[in-house]
Structure 1
Amino acid sequence: MATTVRRDVLTLPAAGLGPDNPLPPLGPPARARRVEIRDREGLPRDMARQLAHEPLRSVLPTRRRDGYGRERTATDIETIVIENERLRVTVLPGLGGRVHSLFHKPTGRELLYRNPVFQPADFALNGAWYSGGIEWNIGATGHTTLSCAPLHAARVSAPDGGEMVRLWEWERLRDTPFQVDLWLPADSDFLYVGVRVRNPHEKPVPVYWWSNTAVPEERRVLAPADEAWHHGYARTLRKVAVPEHDGEDRTRPARAEFAADYFYDVPDGTRPWIAAVDADGHGLVQTSTPRLRGRKLFMWGSGPGGRRWQEWLTEPGTGGYAEIQAGLARTQLEHVRLDAESEFAWLEAYGPLSAAPDAAHGDDWAAARDEVAARLADALPAETVAAAYERWLPHADTTPGEVLATGSGWGALEVLRARYELPGTPFPEATLGPEQEPWRDLLLSGAVPEPRRVAPPGPTLVAPHWRDMLETAPAQPHTEYHLGVAQWHAGDLAQAVRSWERGLALAPSRWPLLRCLAVADRESGHGERAADRYAEAFDDLCAERRDDGAAWVAATAALGREALDALLAVGRAEAARAVWARLHPGTRATGRFRLAEARLLLAEGDAAAALAVFTDGFEVADLREGEESLGEVWAALSDEPLPDRYDFRMRP
């Protein structure tokens, strides 16, 4: 059969994403991973340089996505299905463009770990993320801020004369447009994925890319390397042997005790690939053109924390998964320089692989990886991938045809501002929406419009060109608020405080500015003053909020959470209780605030009541990867071991 592209609907038990957090994320990313300067000695020179290259300051201009819960209902999710006689590929354009399923029809095998539910969890740089399938991580170290966001999608002419699907968006952390072309030749067992990341600016930008594939964890993972860079939750980077170190075969994910990353040190000039095969030698292989040099295995481990996370991200009894990944650098701690007005492009291929099980699972590592490399060469020679890349590249600029899905309006705003020419990835002005409208006004009139109604402020743009426009705009309170956020992001902390203080003098809505000043006090070590300002900000918000709509409930929850933390940090339990009392009842019932209640009761001296909160049971829907707050509070309440339901610990 010829390759077909169609729209379809997938019904899954799904938790709603809820509203975004309206407070600008002024702090550093919660999962910022860095290697200290003293630990970079002895590393390859390019790795050491890229480890230090422009680490992320914050997730601005994006917003935190923490409004989801854990109650799942049957939900229709729009999909795009690409199919030939060999493969059926299911893509979720509204959820980061993820490949949800890669089904090999001749053998009846699902090649990926296919999550049977949609359950957001706090793993992305800005919060909401979900497990399973193949995801496209761009921006900075971690899971992309686009994990649960819609991408643009359309039909495009494929190099073989058929159809392929193009996904594209404007990545906002680094201001880089990108595209992912999914091409399935008519008689192919392999899905080709052409990727292009562009820098349209007049200066270099740091780039990060890792394609992340979930596979069942009982498979063995193989790659063409004898060593790997190990990175665990102790945050150290060290060279280890492959497959075995510390007495255990680390290519078998289910056998490890604790979660860890293994970045394979693929020798220069070696064909890059990574595979995961089951006990019978069947599984998935991923390969690419040389630009995508890195390969990685992530495993959850067999410890109680890893097992708990596996259950948390799906449903008990559905099986665990590991991740095999491919990236631009050796490790995910690096960012690669992309020169001005240039691009990176490469081709990936995903498909089935069958190897002799006695060799692929044998104790002779060289024989095992040689067997997989040979079977890959038989199924898809490196020359075939290189030729497919050369055929695809001229089609990367092809104008998309029928629109299959629509992403955000942020790319359209940037194209409107700078008149970028981006063949192949149009960002039409028609996609501009309410969030972009104030910034369009600033661009065209030189002024930020003051809000027409009382509401939590919209998102702030922080790139230098937008900051320059804010600095020359009329100094209205709303402008001073956004200007301060942009200055804070740029590292000009003192000027940010001055802008917020100027805005505060005339602002009809004071709480957004007071909250920003509270963050500044907290970051500068003035805990008491930060607590005062948080309390004042929360008082102002409660007096201003107009209804119990989603926007106000989200604002109250977000500011209340920060105010509680600030007040408890300086021992002001009575003031924290006053904040607690004014939260919406539905907010107080959520797991995050049940944990806050336990902390509050503990601060008030009622340890028995705090322990009862744990005994009654709760789930913190937005528990952060690596977060240890549950164990810390429990340890203050009891000498008993942390109950399994609360044990998400990722390290010894």
Structure 2
Amino acid sequence: MLSLPAAELGPDNPLPALRPRDDVHRVDDRDRAGMPDDMARQLGHAPLHSLLPVPVRDGYGRSRRPRGLDALVIENDRLRVTVLPGLGGRIASLVHLPTGRELLYRNPVFQPADFALNGAWFSGGIEWNIGATGHTTLSCAPLHAARVPAPDGGEMLRLWEWERLRDLPFQVDLWLPQGSDFLYAGVRIRNPHDRPVPAYWWSNTAVPEDRRVLAPAEEAWYFGYDSRLRRVPVPSYDGVDRTHPRNSPYAADWFYEVPDGRRRWIAAVDADGHGLVQTSTDGLRGRKLFVWGSGPGGRRWQEWLTAPGTGGYCEIQAGLARTQLEHVPLAAQGDVSWLEAYGPLDTPSVGEWADVVGAAERRLAAVLPRARVDEAYAAWRPYADTEPGTTLATGSGWGALEVLRAGLDLPGTPFPESTLGDAQEPWRQLLRTGALPEPDPGRPPGPTLVAPPWRDLLETAPATAHTEYHLGIAQWHAGDRAQAVRSWERALRRARVPWPALRCLAVADQEAGHHERAADRYADAFGALCREGHDDGGAWTPALAALGREALEALLRVRRAADARSVWQRLPAAVRRRGRFRLLLAELLLAEGRRTEARAVFDAGFEVADLREGSDDIGRAWARLTDEPLPGRYDFRMRPDTG
């Protein structure tokens, strides 16, 4: 158990994620010219257009108190590794025992923020990102964990789950050979389908930012929050050495162009020559530095994600492609695997780039030869299929449902029926009976499965209002928007409870540019939801908050302040006190012409717990209110031109 000040994750958003979230990783088409062919091709390969079937996780707040987080510890005589299986398998700590040095940036708090593809994410440690460009939807989700035999006769800690955006099972095997200064991580992603699937992986390691980041490259692909991707020299760009994270004024990614045939590694080393190195077999091609920047927005984000007085951090990363903007085709019935190693590196960080990188490379070769990593990978690969022994943690039941549906055989990563839960039960009944059971009238509709086999089952199931609602979501995900609208209209005609279908139709109206009709439907949906249940902290609150927010935004967009005020007054008091809704109140007051009261909301202070990475919501509202500079407490700007 790891005890630290922690915010609660809270409930998931019960509304289906019909719209893609704001994408800060778009690439300007002008930058594609001159790219390597494989990079240009992979930049356009199967980008994510929807979060479905994954829910948005936005129920967390910013009130922290001491809590215990489930933790698993593995160690040898050289390293101690602390893993959080309930939070995406994050490695929270990697301590070098002979020196007592923490090799990672270890966050002293658990504070979710809106950086994952589906919302909740937290900073620090080593995270495993699978799915699509961005932080994985599993950032704050439980993984399965168990002990398995290791190639050296010891034990490995296996972590595994079913990634739902791409429907791919994966595993991470962690072990510490006796006497080794390096943690090994064997990773495998499998495609059990009869079609190619886009694959994505980046291992992200947080390290203190008072380091110099070293990698065997003389060029990098620079990506800022202006959507431009440029090839730039390393280490200096615009006359500044960017391998020192604090030298960049704004948040940015630096994807290093490691030459073919060169050993793949990246390190972060302090002024005294102590640090961490990550290396791998060649299958994990990319290496990257992420920096927050020295500007006020970057500093504010760092404060937001941790505790006051904590030193800043940067991230050194490793991935399947050159950049995180790419997705790699994974063949039908195929898999991809590699081995990573993490450990201490003592090497000079001061000096000319070529000299410093050369010295680091020689030191790495001395403490962990490249051949030893390849040998460890070859030794591990046969153990990847070994069935787990003692269960240490349990993930979701979604993998078990897919195994049940498709009869999959996945040696080494079992998804037993015993892991099926309430969320999967309606879909198991659909499999067995051909009919989707009626929902619990005391709760909002549950999650929807959208993959083609589930859509086929919904299309042949008896056409109840509940089935038509879910079928419309699956059709929307498939790109058949006209048919989705027809399904929701049929659901609305049959429904005793109309608000779920009304909300879906409102989203469809917005996407089609019919904003007045969308506002009407949002107002009707919210009114219908309020008639179902208007609690203050109970089962209906997440739905009231989610639908209330969307309704307020839709009504304010078409300047219907009176209708927006009506929605505001019907929200539970606890919801109105949240920072997101304090910001909406300021916008509502502005729409009503009550500028002094809107300014008072800002002056009183609020914190938008689910402020999105790259968002300028607060800045835009402030700019409508006054020409004064944006106060520091509200300044989260990640690029110079954000107002």
Q: Among 513, 529, 541, which residue is 1:525 paired with?
A: 513
- In 2, the alpha carbon distance for the partners of 1:167 and 1:235 equals 34
Q: Among 335, 340, 361, which residue is 2:350 paired with?
A: 361
- In 2, the alpha carbon distance for the partners of 1:445 and 1:647 equals 54
* Structure 1 residue 35 displacement after superposition: 2.2
Q: Among 495, 515, 524, which residue is 2:503 paired with?
A: 515
Check conservation: 2:86, 2:141, Cα contact below 8 A: yes
Which SS does the other structure have where 1:504 is aligned? Answer: helix
- In 2, the alpha carbon distance for the partners of 1:361 and 1:550 equals 57
Which SS does the other structure have where 2:539 is aligned? Answer: helix
Check conservation: 1:34, 1:51, Cα contact below 8 A: no
Alpha carbons of structure 1 residues 145 and 395: separation in structure 2 relative to 1, 3 Å: same
- Report Cα offsets for 1:544-592 as digits up to 9, x if no partner: 1164453300000000000000000000000000000000000000100
Structure 1 position 176 matched with structure 2 position 168 = yes
- In 2, the alpha carbon distance for the partners of 1:523 and 1:645 equals 33
- In 1, the alpha carbon distance for the partners of 2:581 and 2:302 equals 23
Check conservation: 2:82, 2:94, Cα contact below 8 A: yes
- In 1, the alpha carbon distance for the partners of 2:539 and 2:208 equals 39
Q: Among 93, 99, 107, which residue is 2:91 paired with?
A: 99
Q: Report the AA paired with residue 282 of structure 2.
A: P
Check conservation: 2:28, 2:229, Cα contact below 8 A: no
* Structure 1 residue 40 displacement after superposition: 1.3
Check conservation: 2:77, 2:179, Cα contact below 8 A: yes
* Runs of at least 5 residues in structure 2 that lack an aligned partner in the other structure: none
* Structure 1 residue 28 displacement after superposition: 1.2
Structure 1 position 50 matched with structure 2 position 50 = no
* Structure 1 residue 32 displacement after superposition: 5.3
- In 2, the alpha carbon distance for the partners of 1:69 and 1:603 equals 27
Partner of 1:456: 444
Which SS does the other structure have where 2:547 is aligned? Answer: helix
- In 2, the alpha carbon distance for the partners of 1:633 and 1:504 equals 36
Check conservation: 2:225, 2:252, Cα contact below 8 A: yes
Taking structure 2 as the reference length, the TM-score comes to 0.99
Taking the TM superposition and a 5 Å limit, the aligned residue runs for 1:290-329 are 290-329=282-321
**Mean alpha-carbon deviation: is it higher for 453-462 or for 487-496?**
453-462
- Report Cα offsets for 1:500-531 as digits up to 9, x if no partner: 00010010111000000000000000000000
Structure 1 position 146 matched with structure 2 position 146 = no
Partner of 1:621: 609
Check conservation: 1:56, 1:140, Cα contact below 8 A: yes
Which SS does the other structure have where 2:71 is aligned? Answer: strand
Q: Report the AA paired with residue 128 of structure 1.
A: A
* Structure 1 residue 36 displacement after superposition: 4.2
Check conservation: 1:19, 1:550, Cα contact below 8 A: no
- Report Cα offsets for 1:266-296 as digits up to 9, x if no partner: 0011100000000011000000000000000
* Structure 1 residue 38 displacement after superposition: 4.0
Q: Among 349, 366, 370, which residue is 1:378 paired with?
A: 366
Which SS does the other structure have where 1:530 is aligned? Answer: helix
Q: Report the AA paired with residue 92 of structure 1.
A: L
* Structure 1 residue 454 displacement after superposition: 3.3
Check conservation: 1:31, 1:125, Cα contact below 8 A: no
- In 2, the alpha carbon distance for the partners of 1:586 and 1:185 equals 52
- In 1, the alpha carbon distance for the partners of 2:606 and 2:28 equals 37
Taking structure 1 as the reference length, the TM-score comes to 0.97
Q: Report the AA paired with residue 126 of structure 1.
A: N
Q: Among 207, 231, 234, which residue is 1:215 paired with?
A: 207
Alpha carbons of structure 1 residues 32 and 642: separation in structure 2 relative to 1, 3 Å: closer
Structure 1 position 412 matched with structure 2 position 400 = yes
- In 2, the alpha carbon distance for the partners of 1:32 and 1:220 equals 26
* Structure 1 residue 384 displacement after superposition: 0.3
- In 2, the alpha carbon distance for the partners of 1:384 and 1:637 equals 62
Check conservation: 1:229, 1:263, Cα contact below 8 A: yes
Q: What's the C-alpha RMSD, in Å, of the aligned pairs?
A: 0.8
Q: Among 127, 152, 172, which residue is 1:160 paired with?
A: 152
- In 2, the alpha carbon distance for the partners of 1:451 and 1:465 equals 21
* Structure 1 residue 17 displacement after superposition: 0.3
- In 1, the alpha carbon distance for the partners of 2:488 and 2:175 equals 50
Which SS does the other structure have where 1:25 is aligned? Answer: coil
- In 2, the alpha carbon distance for the partners of 1:98 and 1:380 equals 24
- In 2, the alpha carbon distance for the partners of 1:10 and 1:392 equals 29
- In 1, the alpha carbon distance for the partners of 2:276 and 2:538 equals 43
Check conservation: 2:468, 2:488, Cα contact below 8 A: yes
Partner of 1:590: 578
- Report Cα offsets for 1:187-217 as digits up to 9, x if no partner: 1000000000000000000000000000000
Q: Among 491, 496, 501, which residue is 2:484 paired with?
A: 496
Check conservation: 1:61, 1:461, Cα contact below 8 A: yes
* Structure 1 residue 89 displacement after superposition: 0.2
- In 2, the alpha carbon distance for the partners of 1:323 and 1:118 equals 18
* Structure 1 residue 451 displacement after superposition: 1.5
- In 2, the alpha carbon distance for the partners of 1:392 and 1:498 equals 52
* Structure 1 residue 325 displacement after superposition: 0.1
Alpha carbons of structure 1 residues 452 and 132: separation in structure 2 relative to 1, 3 Å: closer
Q: Among 409, 429, 441, which residue is 1:421 paired with?
A: 409
Check conservation: 1:454, 1:509, Cα contact below 8 A: no
- In 2, the alpha carbon distance for the partners of 1:11 and 1:33 equals 35
Which SS does the other structure have where 1:550 is aligned? Answer: coil
Q: Report the AA paired with residue 401 of structure 2.
A: L
Which SS does the other structure have where 1:551 is aligned? Answer: coil
Which SS does the other structure have where 1:206 is aligned? Answer: strand
Q: Report the AA paired with residue 527 of structure 2.
A: D
Partner of 2:560: 572
Check conservation: 1:264, 1:294, Cα contact below 8 A: yes
- In 2, the alpha carbon distance for the partners of 1:402 and 1:31 equals 41
Structure 1 position 552 matched with structure 2 position 544 = no
- In 1, the alpha carbon distance for the partners of 2:629 and 2:27 equals 32
**Mean alpha-carbon deviation: is it higher for 446-455 or for 247-256?**
446-455
- In 2, the alpha carbon distance for the partners of 1:209 and 1:404 equals 25
- In 1, the alpha carbon distance for the partners of 2:369 and 2:565 equals 66
Partner of 1:62: 54
Which SS does the other structure have where 1:571 is aligned? Answer: coil
Check conservation: 2:535, 2:572, Cα contact below 8 A: no
Check conservation: 2:388, 2:413, Cα contact below 8 A: yes
- In 2, the alpha carbon distance for the partners of 1:579 and 1:265 equals 52
Which SS does the other structure have where 2:114 is aligned? Answer: strand
Q: Report the AA paired with residue 82 of structure 1.
A: I
* Structure 1 residue 459 displacement after superposition: 0.4
Check conservation: 1:32, 1:141, Cα contact below 8 A: no
* Structure 1 residue 33 displacement after superposition: 2.2
**Mean alpha-carbon deviation: is it higher for 376-385 or for 543-552?**
543-552
- In 2, the alpha carbon distance for the partners of 1:138 and 1:38 equals 28
Partner of 1:258: 250
* Structure 1 residue 621 displacement after superposition: 0.4
- In 2, the alpha carbon distance for the partners of 1:374 and 1:598 equals 58
Check conservation: 1:29, 1:56, Cα contact below 8 A: no
**Mean alpha-carbon deviation: is it higher for 265-274 or for 34-43?**
34-43
- Report Cα offsets for 1:440-492 as digits up to 9, x if no partner: 01111111011242320100001011111111111100000000000001100
- In 1, the alpha carbon distance for the partners of 2:431 and 2:537 equals 31
- In 2, the alpha carbon distance for the partners of 1:531 and 1:638 equals 28
Check conservation: 2:24, 2:614, Cα contact below 8 A: no
Partner of 1:437: 425
Q: Among 612, 615, 633, which residue is 2:600 paired with?
A: 612
- In 1, the alpha carbon distance for the partners of 2:628 and 2:471 equals 50
User: How many positions carry a matched residue from both structures?
Assistant: 640
* Structure 1 residue 639 displacement after superposition: 1.4
Q: Report the AA paired with residue 119 of structure 2.
A: G
Structure 1 position 23 matched with structure 2 position 23 = no
- In 2, the alpha carbon distance for the partners of 1:53 and 1:28 equals 17
- In 1, the alpha carbon distance for the partners of 2:193 and 2:49 equals 20
- In 2, the alpha carbon distance for the partners of 1:367 and 1:190 equals 24
- In 2, the alpha carbon distance for the partners of 1:469 and 1:87 equals 50
Q: Report the AA paired with residue 192 of structure 1.
A: Y
Partner of 2:197: 205
Partner of 2:230: 238
Partner of 1:85: 77
- In 1, the alpha carbon distance for the partners of 2:193 and 2:21 equals 25
- In 2, the alpha carbon distance for the partners of 1:510 and 1:131 equals 40
- In 2, the alpha carbon distance for the partners of 1:56 and 1:240 equals 27
